[in-house]
Structure 1
């Protein structure tokens, strides 16, 4: 065999080996893929996903789908070929990891943050729906998360409303922290909460913060809540988190409390955060959510105004799913009511 031929074979083998090694090395990117959609007007195992008790409700035809994105986690590694595959796939997207996750963030931190955001977004959504229906709501401070192994673990529960701490009436989140600091690490704090409409008192001993041992903490995440005139529960798979379903939750509660189908008996999907003023905020993964919704059979998709430019790039046909731009809860309700009356109605568009 000629020396040149041998050299060529060796070079080819080395090149193949180099490509294989490069493909196996992790790259600092995450992928976004279409995730499952959930009709929040449906039932699971005989229980309504949006369950309202204590007032008259209306169950109609039609669906309201919350949408999700499957995202690789902060510690999940992907190879070069996986990254290139996502880059070439029109239904998927790829982003630098540090654009999605802060440096050093763990899977557990992401899970807890996502869970807190889900609790907060659900309660805000209920408040927005009730305010749209004319209810006046009293604000409260409630528990969004209880850390395992913390002072409140096994004692306080998610959605407990904090009434007082060591005799101090709670009016905002800052007053909780101030009262706990007054008690100090190792002290005894009487915490009064309202749970299921009844006040309960617990004695807790604050522990040192993991970030600063001189700071006393109970191991809870708190935020603004509201006193609702009746019970509203949202039963969603615990693996679904984040704040992006806020608008859909609000619309589902509104539809459940009003006669007639808000969707005209058809299938609607959407996304977007919603704040207590009813303003709809932009989210991530809009194109993947639209793709998943079209595949699920949704005829209309509610797009936060801030996502419109990206939404227009989704690989779907306009004849298959209509994209409607929304800026507020009220605008979403008005658009759905107009569409229910006339599927060809002139609605706000991302192309406007």
Structure 2
């Protein structure tokens, strides 16, 4: 008997396959039909529930980026020109969170897993991505936060290194329908208005208001390191017609000798890498050998005066740093409450300012743990 030949049925017994085929060919009872329909509906509903998006965002440990290394194109993560530099000796890891993108959604099973799995989190989508903002608005704001973080890190690092930094009024944005459109550019540093030196935002505004509507204002700006004179004819203000209007928003900017460029993946956005950016730049432009072969990770946004502010996803970032082999993790002071009771082999160092972070790393490299604040 070949392996493909069915065995004969025992005498007096009908093969099961024949009974099943006969049952299928026979008339369906009401109960049988109801059961089949219910099963199909249940399966369909289960599939809909499993695949339907839910209003949550999942957070998980993300990858780390070693700022002392090179990117995928072989270029340094951070390059400083205009000042003497020394290479970084060790690893300085920027930490990230793997978060549901604004243009993506999570399913119910995914959100449940993220809730129960360790070192993951689930947040209401409205908290992370407000409904009042479009997808493009959110993406634009995230990129802007990274740009601001990088600029603030440069200023804070240069100041900590003793390099001169001059504050000047800066053009932040230009109204498309305003008189300054196409003439002044975001990032322009304003040094003079009508040949009069200015140092603050109010100085610029006061000089503009000395004019009548329709009169021209001459701005002297520094753009790409070179002075440029720009003449703009004022228009009536959108709210107060008698007030001269040029259509720009201003904030304080900074002028310094160094030119810093970043080779970071453009898909990494947000403000939370400011502290490690500043540490990398400081270590590059000084001879202190801050890392001294250590494997350091950290997070925290930074302001131009060196103040370190808290961020989200701290536990996920600690997990990512631990996986990358870091030994020291710099935690913003206000995030220490978020890592209480967290099991980790990392040395969690509390920092409030850039100078405090520098001081702590210098003590750690000298095997002097006294005076190093910890979470």
Deviation at 1:165, TM superposition (A): 5.5
Q: Do the aligned partners of residues 22 and 212 (structure 1) sit closer, same or farther apart at CA in structure 2, a change above 3 Å counting?
A: farther
So what's the TM-score if we normalise by structure 2? 0.77
1:328 corresponds in structure 2 to 353
Deviation at 1:299, TM superposition (A): 1.5
SS at match of 1:48: coil
Q: Do the aligned partners of residues 273 and 149 (structure 1) sit closer, same or farther apart at CA in structure 2, a change above 3 Å counting?
A: same
CA offsets 1:122-160 (integer angstroms, 9 cap, x no match): 222222222223345321133456788987676655533
Deviation at 1:246, TM superposition (A): 1.4
1:161 corresponds in structure 2 to 189
CA offsets 1:30-82 (integer angstroms, 9 cap, x no match): 22233332222323445433222222222132121222223223343332223
Distance (whole Å) between structure 2 residues aligned to residue 60 and residue 37 of structure 1: 17
Q: Do the aligned partners of residues 309 and 184 (structure 1) sit closer, same or farther apart at CA in structure 2, a change above 3 Å counting?
A: farther
CA offsets 1:283-340 (integer angstroms, 9 cap, x no match): 01112211221222222110111111223465xx533x22211112122111111111
Q: Do the aligned partners of residues 242 and 145 (structure 1) sit closer, same or farther apart at CA in structure 2, a change above 3 Å counting?
A: farther
Pair 1:53-2:81 in alignment: yes
Deviation at 1:95, TM superposition (A): 0.8
2:344 corresponds in structure 1 to 318
Does the 8 A contact of 2:88 with 2:291 survive in 1? no
Q: Do the aligned partners of residues 184 and 59 (structure 1) sit closer, same or farther apart at CA in structure 2, a change above 3 Å counting?
A: farther
Distance (whole Å) between structure 2 residues aligned to residue 72 and residue 224 of structure 1: 34
So what's the TM-score if we normalise by structure 1? 0.81
Deviation at 1:261, TM superposition (A): 2.4
Distance (whole Å) between structure 2 residues aligned to residue 175 and residue 14 of structure 1: 71
Q: Do the aligned partners of residues 81 and 293 (structure 1) sit closer, same or farther apart at CA in structure 2, a change above 3 Å counting?
A: same
Listed as ranges, the gaps of 5+ residues in structure 2 are 1-27
Choose from 265, 268, 276 the match for 2:296: 268
1:11 corresponds in structure 2 to 38
Does the 8 A contact of 2:336 with 2:350 survive in 1? yes
Listed as ranges, the gaps of 5+ residues in structure 1 are none
2:280 corresponds in structure 1 to 252
Pair 1:116-2:116 in alignment: no
Does the 8 A contact of 1:49 with 1:236 survive in 2? yes
Does the 8 A contact of 2:192 with 2:220 survive in 1? yes
2:16 corresponds in structure 1 to none
* Greater Cα radius of gyration, structure 1 or 2: 2
1:37 corresponds in structure 2 to 64
Deviation at 1:263, TM superposition (A): 1.8
Pair 1:348-2:354 in alignment: no
Distance (whole Å) between structure 2 residues aligned to residue 327 and residue 31 of structure 1: 28
Distance (whole Å) between structure 2 residues aligned to residue 278 and residue 342 of structure 1: 25
Number of equivalences = 345
CA RMSD of aligned residues (A): 3.6
Deviation at 1:204, TM superposition (A): 5.7
2:6 corresponds in structure 1 to none
Q: Do the aligned partners of residues 311 and 147 (structure 1) sit closer, same or farther apart at CA in structure 2, a change above 3 Å counting?
A: farther
SS at match of 1:112: helix
SS at match of 1:142: strand
Q: Do the aligned partners of residues 20 and 51 (structure 1) sit closer, same or farther apart at CA in structure 2, a change above 3 Å counting?
A: same
Does the 8 A contact of 1:142 with 1:222 survive in 2? yes
Deviation at 1:90, TM superposition (A): 2.1
CA offsets 1:223-243 (integer angstroms, 9 cap, x no match): 322221333333433322222
Distance (whole Å) between structure 1 residues aligned to residue 174 and residue 63 of structure 2: 28
1:27 corresponds in structure 2 to 54
2:325 corresponds in structure 1 to 297
Choose from 81, 84, 88 the match for 2:109: 81
